[in-house]
Homo-oligomer: A and B are copies of this chain.
Amino acid sequence: MADLKVTIAGVPFQNPLIAASGTFGFGREYAEFYPLSTLGGISCKGITLAERPGNPPPRVTETPGGMLNAVGLQNPGVDHFIKEDLPWLQKQGTVVIANIAGNTPEDYCRMAEKLSYTAVDMVELNISCPNVKQGGVQFGTSCAGVEDITAQVRRFCKKPLMVKLSPNVSDIGEIAAAAESAGADAISMINTLTGMRIDIRTRRPVLRNNTGGLSGPALLPIAVRMVWQAAQRVKIPIVGMGGISKWEDAVELLLAGASALQIGTVFFTDPYAPVKILDGLNQYLDRSGFSSVSDLTGRVCPW
């Protein structure tokens, strides 16, 4: 059995598989299937300063090899999270990551500050949510935007800070470099690509928000490419995600340059996916003679 432990920004994870924000709630529903300590960590549903009702339905729909969502950051607000969800979460034996989103830099800073004095292990800066009018992705699609917000939050955040990148950009490498230079301890990538489906019967967009974020297997080759490009530009660790549904996909993202992984949409297809992925990963490591999962990171040998 190879060593599955990884350390990201000083935070030790018992294995590299983390539940992706927004796909796993605050963990309670999936605790029916297995102890949450099965996972290396949980990135909680994106939270905002104040409670948000989220978008009107429909909020999800299928696409070839994937899905769209426009949940719109429905969440009870940061204070409720700290008071009601965190105490339970911190007892589950897994790393707890708070994923935060805001309308203004000040929102982000105030949340980072509040979370700095809690049991949260890490803060994930969501500047890449495509499903809300204000806030989110507009910070994430330019280097200046990423640098500015990261630097501001950095000053208030006493926890390890991970910046989550949007794939809706031309040059992901420069965006990653901007996050690093502004003080991010780690990068997570990728969030969803903006997509749309139209109901040809009603001739209306399927999602009430018109557009939504594409996730699931369809995204995998984009994620692999972007992680690979980012890994060439930054020294801080990369938490890779986007379309992982099998252990083979996990290995690809590690080889491309990820030090840990998040999985999201695959929970909807198979709640037991993390168990299967970890098992496959373990066997691959043994078969290939690697003693530690971190030996895979960035091991791709480009032509």
- CB pair B169 A221 closer than 8 Å: no
A127 at the interface (CB under 8 A from B): no
Query: Do residues A64 and B303 form an inter-chain contact, with CB atoms below 8 A?
Result: no
Chain B residues with CB under 8 Å of A276's CB are none
> Which B residues lie within 8 Å of A169 (CB)?
169-170
Given contacts A168-B170, A205-B302, A303-B205, contact A225 B194 (CB under 8 A): yes
- What's the minimum C-beta distance from A225 to chain B, rounded to whole angstroms? 4
Contact A195 B221 (CB under 8 A): yes
- How many residues does chain A have at the interface if contact means C-beta atoms less than 8 Å apart? 49
List the number of copies, as a whole number.
2
Residues of B within 8 A of A218 (CB): 63-66, 217-219
Q: Are B200 and A251 in contact (CB under 8 A)?
A: yes
Q: Which among A6-14, A36-44, A208-216 touches the partner chain?
A: A208-216
Please state if A197 and B224 are interface contacts (CB–CB under 8 Å). yes
| The 8 A-B residue pairs with the shortest CB-CB distance in the complex, in nearest-first order | A65-B65, A195-B221, A64-B217, A218-B218, A196-B225, A141-B170, A63-B221, A200-B251
Supply 13 A–B pairs (Cβ within 8 Å), ascending by A.
A64-B216, A64-B220, A65-B65, A65-B218, A169-B170, A193-B193, A197-B224, A198-B300, A200-B252, A204-B302, A210-B303, A211-B225, A218-B218
Which residues of A approach B to under 8 Å, CB–CB?
63-66, 68, 141-142, 168-171, 193-198, 200, 203-205, 208-211, 214, 216-222, 224-225, 228, 243, 245, 248, 251-252, 255-256, 284, 299-303
